[in-house]
Structure 1
Amino acid sequence: MDPEGSRIQDDSDVKVMMAGSTLRKVKSKSWKKQRHFRLLEDGVTIWYKSRWAGRGHTTFSVTEVDAVREGHQSEVLLSVAEEFAADACFTLVFHGRQGNLDLVAETAEEAGAWIRGVRKLVYKAQTMDEKERLDQWVWDWFQRADKNRDGKMNFKEVRTLLKMMNVDMNEEHALHLFTMADKAESGSLEIQQFVHFYKMLTQRDEVWKVFQDYSEDGEMLMASELQNFLSIEQHEEGRRSSQHAQQLIDRYEPSEAAKKQRAMTLDGFQVYLCSREGSVFKPEHRELHQDMSQPLSHYFISSSHNTYLLEDQLRGQSSLEAYIQALKRGCRCVEVDCWDGSDGEPVVYHGHTWTSKILFRDVVSTLKEYAFKASDFPVILSLENHCGVEQQAVMAQHLSHILGDTLLTALLDGQIPQQLPSPQELRGKILLKAKKIGDPGDCVDETLTDEVSDDEEMANDDAESLSAEDPSPAECLPETGKKSKSHLSRALSDLVVYCKSVHFHGFERARSHAKCYEMSSFSESKAKRLAKDAGTEFVQYNARHLSRIYPGGLRTDSSNYNPQDMWNVGCQMVALNFQTAGLEMDLNDGLFRQNGGCGFVLKPDFMRGGATRFSPERPGERPGYGPRRLSIQVISGQQLPKVNQKEGSIVDPLVRVEVYGVPQDQNREETSHINNNGFNPVWNETLNFVVHAPELALVRFEVEDHDKASRNDFMGQFTLPFTCIQAGYRHVHLLSRDGTAITPSSLFVNISISELT
């Protein structure tokens, strides 16, 4: 069995890849080494090693590749542009935070074959249906377990495979299944027999029991029986019909004979439950479905802090790749820290630290190319300006010349607005957030003194929150504000329209004097104090004005704060270090996974009016208060990832469900752990929650490897908004710490949502 089929294998470019090529792997201007690359027979795995015998080899899957870039489209390949022609160069970009692979072929023709071939294979992997994905996964395991490459697997190899697959199975039972699959009694399994063995191994009793409840003959679900299941268990009666049941049969049933009978077998039922439609996430909420015509201040906006950094804030590398990755993840507000460069060209880096420097003009060029790849809604460029007037003029010139019409430089209708324009009106535009002299449309005739810088606000805010034991900010971050004034050039000031940065002088002053296009930045500590002391006022302020929150200055390791506290009071641009994986980025990804991943999520209606009385501390006092009861039966897990890659190690998984929202909703519950089974653990345990502000809540599923002696190890997670949850029997498809899919790892759950009576 070859899951890729003969068509893709017969492709001329793929044939070049399978034959193998010597490509130069480039890490820097001084590190360029030849490696032999080839595509393995599975049509998915790319293998490479040094040309010298005895050295180890490396493999990766095309499913890990996000994109292929041609020519000198990376900083590394740009640095060797004089040495290698663009048509021989290409870059493999991986999902998540994995570094790029920069390669140079010996000829342009060979580079072209690899570029086209990898793109075809990536497209094939991305467009697989659920059955094809499962077939591919089975094929991969067969390849890994077949150590001697004879296309067969004896029982010893099967035992090793079971350990690799994270299951500690009774050897007698495993031998029994092996013997049943070995129809030819040859003592080994070929791939088709292995598929049969796998199906017996993965027989899911918990799915079979649900199937039996609705199948009259126990063999098939007729369309009418499937419709009953959809109505009663999946709570889809309002939008489902017998016609939809038939559509599911046509889409997911592998047996043509069953399709002709308008029926679904157990195999088809399991494929449906594992599909996108059987997912815990409402499919329609993954698409762009919200009203995008409201003022910008009515949306949560996916926002990045120190976007240029790939690592920590003291010694990390500044990189254009960091901007590309953030924008591809749907980020709509990026930060640029600008400083005077030695040759008259402004540079971007974390000032007064050991982080590397990149050119401002290169950042702007990267924005021009990647701003609207993931979303065509506006991008806000948050400018941290430390440059003198002369290089500010250079910045203004680069912004105008490189971005052209993409940069918004004038009021949409020429009128001073009473409210901010909408994402819809600003589609395809880049907005500059920075200091500005005067109002939009004003003419400024000279260079004027600006207010205190955001960095000084950060230093002051953080200093206020330090306890006696804390070191001073200056000891932790060598950039605390030394200057008290800066000057703005007219050219740069004139480019700021709807996002004028101003110092925050209190909610009362904002109510009486502030214009809707004036916005303030707050350190996390200051924002937390305001949220606690004046939550309702903060919500009201954010109904009209944009707020940007940034991590405190002591987070030199690029760690993050919990963004939920800021969303609870309506802050739109809650900026996080996108380069740092963990809970906080899981929450950010979870919130912005909805609405087509466009980077804008409409705030709940009770947070959008200037007279709102909503307080996150007292959610029950708002109009329309409707608490919900959330009941999650954690039934089973499927093919959970290994934590320890040692051959004999098996995980002891447990499931924790966490609710993040207003303070009253913060809660977590967990199952017991299952000993020695990451392959098909069964819990059948129910976790219960009450959610008082469901419109703001996020639900996070996390799987951990239980450890009695030390902290549990993370295995996988999935986070989504409460409002996007599908009730019924659902699969939760797990993501890695990096936020990438861990196919086919999942949890099988039954979810019930009801009004709290």
Structure 2
Amino acid sequence: MSKQTYRICCFQRKFKLKEAEAPDEIKDLFERFSENGIMTAEHLCEFLKDVQSEENITKEEAETVMESALKLVHEHLNIVFHRKGLNLDGFFRYLFSDLNVSISTDKKVHHDMTAPLSHYFIYTSHNTYLTGNQLNSDCSDVPIIKALQQGVRVIELDMWPNSSKDNVDILHGGTLTPPVELIQCLKSIKEHAFVVSEYPVIITLEDHLTPDLQAKAAEMVTQVFGDILFTCGAECLSEFPSPESLKGRIIISTKPPKEYLESKKPSEKDNGSQNGKKSSEEKAWGAELSDLSQKMIAYSENKDNGECQDDEADSHHENPNIQQNIAPEYKHLIAIQAGKSKGPTSEWLTVDPIKVKRISLNEEKLINVALNHGKDLIRFTQRNLLRVYPKGMRVDSSNYNPLIGWMHGAQMVAFNMQGHGRPLWLMQGMFKANGGCGYVKKPELLLKTDANNEVHDPKRLLSVKTTLKVKVYMGKGWHLDFKRTHFDAYSPPDFYVKIGIAGVPADSRVKKTKAIEDNWIPTWNDEFEFPLTVPELALLRVEVHEYDMSEIDDFGGQTCIPVSDLRTGIRAVPIYNEKGEKYPSVKLLMRFEFVK
């Protein structure tokens, strides 16, 4: 037999797909919560209470779940629906279904939304108008619409005079990005702002306009948003309002124009046209995120500990002569004033008891300040807003580690939503929490002061608060969502799962299941434990890969789940592609349990 003929025979033999079979533990649970091979609504109610930790579920609610599960099973089998209990196969299908996913799908907001804005992490985008890279991709309202549809609550627009100097364009200054008109972006924001979330949308403006164009921009903003625009006149806010009080409102945030006169020299600004280094998401899995302490120490060894300079906006494009006559109607729109981070850090991090503000730092400056003023950052962000944004070297629209900002209280960790890679998966995972509304209440750890008016020290090692036990049973759906030859031309894939925690340094780690050879429906039955000191900031990271002996392992899907919103028990875990889009069929079956 020739080698070619042998391969064809092997291909036909190995690609025969078996039906998914419930693991032994699932079979045992079915036996425990059924009678004569049938699980009734009453049995299901007991299962939901005892195994899934849904202690408060009523018999009526369990009957509703049972009815939905039976409809799902009967639709799959293409038979007429009638009331009857679940057999083992039906119970197994229910566990793998969207009725039983690992994070609540009811989109209910369950955090207290009545605290000031400074008490929340806010889903924040950077250069939202760009369709691709930071140098020559198109500017458009399409990525703005997409961001809002994903739940993003902070949109960034860079305003520049158009070529005729008589209107306002949105573009990335000093680059070859073709512009889009401001009015088009504003109209799209209004149309899509509250489709996914009713909580406020903040527009951060980078202003490079003359006073007459400032007035024109103010007129457009006022006409488009009308009564839903939140303003506070010429006065600074003494405290930020709550997300609850700002439902359905649009908020403008930028520097008061006069402060551009004090901008720093051009040489102090990141040069966005430099070639970016290899982005962090291309490094080994977990290495770029799991040990923040080492990363911050390495940074401090390569940077001086001098004071941070203001890095807000492309200030080297500013002409001080055009800022002498400020349009009052424009200044009136600025509800969240952006301050300066220029001079001694101890000065601009001082908490003003009379007014609040927003400060912006790029990712590198954040690390520098965090190393030397970590507690001051936390104290500052208890009242004020801190925005972190990508360094100018990220011309490919890659992103950085969001945990460094979050663990220091930064509310607006701004990301390139048009980018890609593991940091963006973490961002998407964080904001699955709290019903996906775009606002996540910060942990009490970052909000409280003790009897001596001291705040949390982010460098202090805390004791373990809880341990998350995770069991990975099995996975299925790849044969439906991928071509049969996607992973290997001649045999089924060899899947394994990487699972870990992204959080504070003490909690961040990664583990791996064994690889299951030649199986489209792999069963691992591997169990792991993750001790957590700050579970409120922890994200469960899951990635599926196909083992390749000679090349880079193929990607088989990923998800990030906020530990705070994780549903305990045996759950179906939907899996997403590299862009963060959910696969139609691929899911893992896992078990989650918290133990002291």
TM-score between both structures, scaled by the size of structure 2: 0.82
Aligned with 1:650 (options 481, 487, 492): 492
Aligned with 1:730 (options 563, 571, 576): 571
Shift of the alpha carbon at 1:283? 4.5
For residues 91 and 34 of structure 2, the distance between their equivalents in structure 1, rounded to whole angstroms, comes to 15
- 1:374 maps onto 2:196 in alignment: yes
CA change 1:216–1:722 in 2 (3 A) is closer
For residues 258 and 223 of structure 1, the distance between their equivalents in structure 2, rounded to whole angstroms, comes to 16
Deviations 1:324-348 (CA, angstroms, capped at 9, x unpaired): 1111111111111111212211211
- In structure 2, the residue matched to 1:636 is 474
Letter in 1 for 2:497: V
For residues 88 and 565 of structure 2, the distance between their equivalents in structure 1, rounded to whole angstroms, comes to 27
Shift of the alpha carbon at 1:458? 4.7
- In structure 1, the residue matched to 2:293 is none
Letter in 2 for 1:481: H
Deviations 1:195-222 (CA, angstroms, capped at 9, x unpaired): xxx9x72333447524443155551124
- In structure 2, the residue matched to 1:315 is 136
Deviations 1:630-669 (CA, angstroms, capped at 9, x unpaired): 1111111112254853764632211011211111111110
- In structure 2, the residue matched to 1:393 is 215
CA change 1:218–1:655 in 2 (3 A) is farther
Q: How does 1:565-580 map to 2 (within 5 A)?
A: 565-580=404-419
For residues 462 and 667 of structure 1, the distance between their equivalents in structure 2, rounded to whole angstroms, comes to 35
Deviations 1:735-756 (CA, angstroms, capped at 9, x unpaired): 111212212111111222111x
Aligned with 2:332 (options 484, 491, 494): 494
Percent of pairs with identical residues = 29
Aligned with 1:719 (options 543, 560, 565): 560
Shift of the alpha carbon at 1:378? 1.1
Deviations 1:24-49 (CA, angstroms, capped at 9, x unpaired): xxxxxxxxxxxxxxxxxxxxxxxxxx
- 1:422 maps onto 2:264 in alignment: no
Q: How does 1:606-625 map to 2 (within 5 A)?
A: 606-609=445-448, 611=453, 613-620=455-462
Letter in 2 for 1:694: P
CA change 1:209–1:357 in 2 (3 A) is same
User: RMSD over aligned Cα, in angstroms?
Assistant: 3.3
- In structure 1, the residue matched to 2:374 is 535
For residues 724 and 520 of structure 1, the distance between their equivalents in structure 2, rounded to whole angstroms, comes to 30
For residues 546 and 715 of structure 1, the distance between their equivalents in structure 2, rounded to whole angstroms, comes to 38
For residues 415 and 527 of structure 1, the distance between their equivalents in structure 2, rounded to whole angstroms, comes to 29
- In structure 2, the residue matched to 1:194 is none
Letter in 1 for 2:496: L
For residues 527 and 36 of structure 2, the distance between their equivalents in structure 1, rounded to whole angstroms, comes to 27
- 1:664 maps onto 2:506 in alignment: yes
Aligned residues: 538
- In structure 2, the residue matched to 1:294 is 115
Shift of the alpha carbon at 1:456? 7.6
- The gaps in structure 2 that reach 5 residues or longer are 1-7, 275-298, 304-312
- In structure 1, the residue matched to 2:525 is 684
CA change 1:653–1:543 in 2 (3 A) is same
- In structure 1, the residue matched to 2:397 is 558
Shift of the alpha carbon at 1:459? 2.8
For residues 267 and 198 of structure 2, the distance between their equivalents in structure 1, rounded to whole angstroms, comes to 34
CA change 1:212–1:420 in 2 (3 A) is closer
3-state SS of 1:665 partner: coil
Shift of the alpha carbon at 1:243? 3.8
- 1:548 maps onto 2:387 in alignment: yes
Deviations 1:560-586 (CA, angstroms, capped at 9, x unpaired): 001111111110010000001221121
- In structure 2, the residue matched to 1:209 is 27
Shift of the alpha carbon at 1:616? 2.9
- In structure 1, the residue matched to 2:50 is 232
- In structure 1, the residue matched to 2:431 is 592
- In structure 1, the residue matched to 2:542 is 701
3-state SS of 1:201 partner: coil
Letter in 2 for 1:602: K
- In structure 2, the residue matched to 1:604 is 443
Alignment check: 8 A CA contact 1:502 1:518 kept? no
Shift of the alpha carbon at 1:415? 7.7
- In structure 1, the residue matched to 2:182 is 360
- In structure 2, the residue matched to 1:246 is 63
Structure (1 or 2) with the larger CA radius of gyration: 1
- The gaps in structure 1 that reach 5 residues or longer are 1-159, 175-197, 438-446, 469-477
Shift of the alpha carbon at 1:398? 1.4
- In structure 1, the residue matched to 2:292 is none
3-state SS of 1:676 partner: coil
Alignment check: 8 A CA contact 1:248 1:272 kept? no
Alignment check: 8 A CA contact 2:14 2:492 kept? no
Specify which structure has the bigger relative contact order, considering alpha-carbon pairs within 8 angstroms and separated by 6 or more residues.
2
Aligned with 1:750 (options 577, 582, 591): 591
Alignment check: 8 A CA contact 1:631 1:689 kept? yes
Shift of the alpha carbon at 1:270? 2.1
TM-score between both structures, scaled by the size of structure 1: 0.65
Q: How does 1:153-164 map to 2 (within 5 A)?
A: none
Letter in 2 for 1:232: D
